[in-house]
């Protein structure tokens, strides 16, 4: 998607002082509107109201293409009833029609000298004023969807006055409107459940957990919303899949609060954070005296979630031995506490999440196939942020709003800075974007986040470094021999200049991984200890650098 943020001199890069501040606030306010509302007419009206408030527009109108192929006036501000009716009647013949036909912006510096406009609005209260009109096409990709036009008073500022900044700003707004309009057209052609909690949801839960609060204007997230609404009312087990930081727990909470179990507990457990023995006690509970220190009986998370939902995050990290115990609970819907022998029946809806390739884990014997089929009843994939870039601008507005509210500040962000965020790879996804906004807003020199405020502008961003390494370095295959069958070991493929053992670990992360695997003869647990990291972190690092370990 082309956001119009990186062209020419940037959206507002050359504007100084109060004018720049107003335009930054305008983009910020519009991004919040887009993230909060799913009513197209209401959204368009609020956008025009923001333009009227911050840019002093005299009139504004948004026209969208109808099924008939002609423009229809979808929203307007600053017009009387008669003026609105006249504009609606001739919307395809006036300036709007010309913009739609050519697909190019139009600027009329003085409306009093433009005859094509007078047959729509016959009387302009322009005594002592010069009124300019700026109009740009609304597009989604190459598809023309409509036109947005504004009128504003031209303040005397000497010769050579241009409207470049107004055109650039409207192009950004028009691109955002285009995405919203396209999503609504898709929703009309493929009806699906409304992206909102049921009307009988308690007010507090509805405000906090309704799926409309999960920011997702992109087509990929709209598909996720549709799948959530279809699966939430059932009691089927759901497996949420996606990279770390894509919002799996937030979606799990949304599923719970859209289900008949919404008034019952929602219990979460991070399986990767606990050892096997602790995880068993945490999930199933324990009897008094079951082990040293168990002085009281304790209920587990399954019991605490009775009648509600249990969310097991990172389920792909549990051991094979514990997978067998989990399988029995899912099959029989009963378990025993640690140290107990009395079966306990449970009625719990299970939602699991993982960032692992479970199919590969099953084929390699690291995950039980029968448990895989038990948890993979309904599978919902959450796309990484780099595949839903349409959501970055609303997310930035949301996170910046949270930061300002929590820190009692009024930070804004420049369009050049937005361009950097939109084009970033984001391996850490939404969580990384949130951390980036908070870190940069905290360390920024002024009240506006600019391009130079980001660590990546000074080559200090590890995320960009790792992404560049992934692009520049071809996939490495570390070939290992089976010691039981062959006497010699095949030396792994290493980057040029990497010495065998004499010089110790190299500096780059990718080279250190290869070096450690070579030193430990391909045993990943030993290689992780050699680098002083956990085996899980070592595995993530191998995936990050596309290093495949093969055993022969």
Residue 283 neighbours by CB distance under 10 Å: 26
In a domain, 25, yes or no: no
The answer to whether residues 462 and 489 belong to one domain is: no
What secondary structure, in 3-state letters, does 249-315 show? HHHHHHHHHCCCCCCCCEEEEEHHHCCHHHHHHHHHEECCCCCCCCCCCEECHHHHCCCCEEEEECH
Token code pair at residue 448: 């506006």
User: Considering 441, 468, 495, which residue would you say is the last residue of a domain?
Assistant: 468
pTM of the model: 0.56
In a domain, 205, yes or no: no
Q: What per-residue confidence (pLDDT) applies to 6?
A: 31
In a domain, 203, yes or no: no
**What are the mean pLDDT values of the chain's consecutive 10-residue runs (552 residues total)?**
30 39 68 68 85 80 83 82 74 76 84 63 57 86 85 64 76 81 64 38 37 73 88 94 92 93 93 86 81 77 92 92 89 84 89 93 91 93 89 86 89 82 87 92 89 76 52 40 34 35 60 82 76 75 76 34
Q: What per-residue confidence (pLDDT) applies to 237?
A: 94
- Give residue-wise pLDDT tens across range 391-401: 888 888 888 88
The answer to whether residues 234 and 255 belong to one domain is: yes
The answer to whether residues 254 and 285 belong to one domain is: yes
Structural domain count of the chain: 4
Q: Residue 60 and residue 69: Cα distance in Å, rounded? A: 22
Q: Residue 176 and residue 30: Cα distance in Å, rounded? A: 9
Which range marks the domain in which residue 219 is found?
Answer: 210-381
Q: Residue 298 and residue 84: Cα distance in Å, rounded? A: 68
The answer to whether residues 114 and 229 belong to one domain is: no
In a domain, 196, yes or no: no
- Give residue-wise pLDDT tens across range 447-456: 888 888 888 7
In a domain, 200, yes or no: no
- Give residue-wise pLDDT tens across range 194-241: 434 334 344 433 333 346 468 887 778 888 888 999 999 999 999 999
Q: What per-residue confidence (pLDDT) applies to 46?
A: 85
The answer to whether residues 180 and 220 belong to one domain is: no
The answer to whether residues 63 and 166 belong to one domain is: yes
In a domain, 314, yes or no: yes
For residue 232, give the CATH number of its domain. Answer: 3.40.50.300
Token code pair at residue 234: 């059932």
The answer to whether residues 99 and 124 belong to one domain is: yes
The answer to whether residues 457 and 522 belong to one domain is: no
The answer to whether residues 302 and 227 belong to one domain is: yes
Q: What per-residue confidence (pLDDT) applies to 199?
A: 40
User: Considering 468, 503, 525, which residue would you say is the last residue of a domain?
Assistant: 468
In a domain, 509, yes or no: yes
- Strand, helix or coil at 72? strand
- Give residue-wise pLDDT tens across range 345-386: 999 999 999 999 999 999 989 999 999 999 999 999 999 998
Q: What per-residue confidence (pLDDT) applies to 67?
A: 77
The answer to whether residues 81 and 137 belong to one domain is: yes
The answer to whether residues 294 and 440 belong to one domain is: no
Q: What per-residue confidence (pLDDT) applies to 106?
A: 86
490: closest CA among 517, 529, 525, 530? Answer: 517
Q: What per-residue confidence (pLDDT) applies to 18?
A: 45
The answer to whether residues 521 and 537 belong to one domain is: yes
CB-based contacts of 62, cutoff 8 Å, min separation 6:
44, 47, 48, 73, 74, 75, 76, 138, 146, 147, 148, 177
For residue 433, give the CATH number of its domain. Answer: 1.10.8.60
């Amino acid at each position: 998607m082309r956001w119009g943020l990186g062209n020419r001199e940037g959206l507002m890069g050359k504007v100084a002082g109060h004018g720049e501040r107003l335009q930054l606030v305008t983009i910020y306010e519009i991004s919040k509107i887009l993230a909060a509302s799913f009513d197209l007419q209401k959204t368009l009206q609020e956008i025009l109201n923001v333009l009227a408030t911050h840019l002093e527009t005299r009139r504004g109108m948004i026209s969208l293409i109808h099924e008939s192929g002609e423009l229809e006036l979808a929203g307007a501000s600053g017009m009387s009833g008669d003026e609105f009716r006249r504009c609606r009647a001739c919307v395809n013949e006036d300036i709007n029609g010309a913009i739609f036909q050519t697909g190019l912006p139009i600027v009329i510096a003085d409306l009093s000298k433009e005859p094509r406009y007078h047959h729509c609005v016959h009387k302009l209260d322009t005594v002592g004023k010069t009124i300019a009109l700026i109009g740009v096409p609304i597009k989604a990709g190459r598809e023309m969807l409509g036109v947005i036009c504004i009128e504003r008073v031209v303040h005397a500022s000497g010769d050579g006055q241009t409207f470049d900044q107004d055109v650039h700003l409207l192009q950004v707004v028009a691109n955002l409107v285009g995405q919203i309009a396209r999503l609504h057209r898709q929703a009309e052609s493929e009806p699906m459940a409304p992206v909102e909690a049921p009307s009988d949801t308690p007010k507090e839960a509805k405000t906090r957990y309704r799926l409309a609060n999960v920011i997702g204007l992109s087509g990929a997230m709209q598909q996720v919303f549709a799948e959530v609404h279809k699966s939430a009312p059932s009691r089927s087990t759901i497996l949420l899949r996606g990279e770390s930081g894509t919002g799996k727990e937030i979606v799990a909470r949304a599923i719970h609060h859209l289900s008949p179990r919404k008034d019952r507990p929602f219990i979460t457990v991070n399986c990767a954070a606990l050892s096997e023995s602790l995880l068993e006690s945490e999930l199933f509970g324990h009897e008094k005296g079951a082990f040293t220190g168990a002085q009281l009986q304790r209920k587990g998370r399954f019991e605490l979630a009775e009648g509600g939902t249990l969310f097991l995050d990172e389920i792909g990290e549990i051991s094979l031995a514990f997978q067998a115990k989990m399988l029995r609970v899912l099959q029989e819907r009963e378990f025993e506490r640690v140290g107990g022998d009395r079966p306990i029946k449970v009625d719990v809806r299970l939602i699991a999440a993982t960032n692992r390739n479970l199919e590969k884990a099953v084929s390699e014997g690291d995950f039980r196939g029968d448990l895989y089929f038990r948890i993979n009843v309904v599978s919902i994939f959450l796309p990484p942020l780099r595949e839903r870039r349409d959501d970055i601008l609303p997310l930035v507005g949301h996170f910046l709003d949270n930061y300002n509210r929590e820190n009692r500040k009024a930070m804004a962000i420049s369009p050049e800075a937005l361009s950097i965020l939109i084009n970033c790879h984001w391996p850490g996804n939404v969580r990384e974007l949130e951390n980036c906004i908070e870190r940069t807003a905290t360390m920024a020199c002024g009240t506006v986040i600019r391009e130079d405020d980001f660590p990546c502008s000074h080559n200090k961003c590890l995320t960009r470094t790792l992404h560049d390494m992934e692009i520049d370095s071809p996939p490495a295959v570390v070939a290992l021999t089976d010691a039981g069958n062959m006497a010699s070991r095949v030396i792994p493929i290493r980057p040029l200049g990497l010495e065998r053992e004499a010089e110790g670990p190299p500096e780059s992360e990718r080279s250190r991984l290869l070096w450690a695997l070579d030193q430990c003869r391909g045993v990943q647990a030993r290689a992780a200890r050699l680098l002083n990291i956990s085996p899980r972190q070592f595995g993530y690092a191998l995936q990050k650098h596309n290093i495949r370990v093969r055993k022969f």
